Structure 1
Amino acid sequence: MKQATLTLAVLLAATACGGGGDNSDNGDSGGSGNDGADGGAGMPRPREFGIHDTRVQVRPHEQFVLKVPYRPSEGYRWIVRGDKPDPRTATLIDTRAQGFDPDRMGDRGERWYSYRAEKPGRTKLALRECFQCGTSNERVDADHPVKDVTFHITVAN
């Protein structure tokens, strides 16, 4: 019985100590991302592209993340403006808020759009951030500026 307990403890310790860490931004919003660093499950972490690096070049079947600043507690939202990426070229996997506390007024973080590259081609994702974007309370004026970001995605072998 003691051997089984020891084996279980070793397995739990080994899996809990993986290199996954959190998914928070490490300050690198560049397209070089993390150069295939281990994401904790033996898989390369997706490369990350931010608003200052909107030319995305990836290979088929590669996962990547498009990141934009996020401040929902201030009333700002991101919406897709225009067409979404062609799913034959890039498929949306997940959209999530990252790195902020929604209960803390004024806290900021990032909005992550996770994609998987499919077949070679070109597509784009055009986003707009504005105060209450996409709602009946949307405001665009000097006190509520708009931010537009377009990611140009190229999938090539």
Structure 2
Amino acid sequence: MGTSGLARNCRLLVIAVAIAALLIAVHSVISRLSGPAVYDAGESEISVAPGERFEIRVADDPGDGYRWIVAAPRPDPAVLKAVGSHLDRDEPPPSGTGGSRYLDFAAVGEGRTDLRLLHCRRCAEGAADEDGARSLNFRVTVG
């Protein structure tokens, strides 16, 4: 095998790497476009299909000592369940300070339930009455 065979193998390797990079880029774009629906704090009505996931985006600054919780009364577990949360410090939230917290939910089965989120420090009994606490209320319809 001479230098022409080596050059041909290098070209094939470069083509294979380029195709792999293109496939990774396409997968990344499709994943972002087909990700869960995102609702903002100002939206109070959420409609999703059974099995669908969605996120609620709220302004959050972990340094202020407050955190977001699903508050009582809890949503009907046959309709909706909380599946986690994540913070995106790079994305400016609707209020323009801190970062954006995404609270993740999964629609379990058909029905309608209320979802109450509470931004609190102690987050114990009576947390809704503590100074600086605030709540968000949503009506979630799965069907």
Would you call these one fold, judging by a TM-score over 0.5? Answer: yes
Deviations 1:30-77 (A, max 9, x none): xxxxxxxxx623872221111110211111222211121111112221
The TM-score with structure 1 as length reference comes to 0.65
Q: For structure 2, which runs of at least 5 residues remain unmatched after alignment?
A: 1-8, 92-96
The TM-score with structure 2 as length reference comes to 0.71
Deviations 1:69-93 (A, max 9, x none): 1111122211222143333212333
Match of 2:21 in 1: 13
By percentage of residues, which structure has more helix? 2
1:61 is matched with which residue: 48, 51, 54?
51
Q: For structure 1, which runs of at least 5 residues remain unmatched after alignment?
A: 21-38, 102-106
What SS does structure 2 have at the residue aligned with 1:41?
helix
Deviations 1:92-124 (A, max 9, x none): 3331112349xxxxx611221122222210122
The letter for the 2-side match of 1:97 is L
In our comparison, the structure showing a higher alpha carbon Rg is: 2
Backbone CA RMSD of aligned residues? 2.8
For residues 100 and 75 of structure 1, what CA distance do their matches in structure 2 show? 19
2:82 is matched with which residue: 92, 115, 129?
92
Is the 1:61–1:116 Cα contact (8 Å) retained in structure 2?
A: yes
For residues 140 and 117 of structure 1, what CA distance do their matches in structure 2 show? 31
Extract structure 1 runs of 4+ deviating beyond 6 A: none
* Aligned-pair identity (%): 24
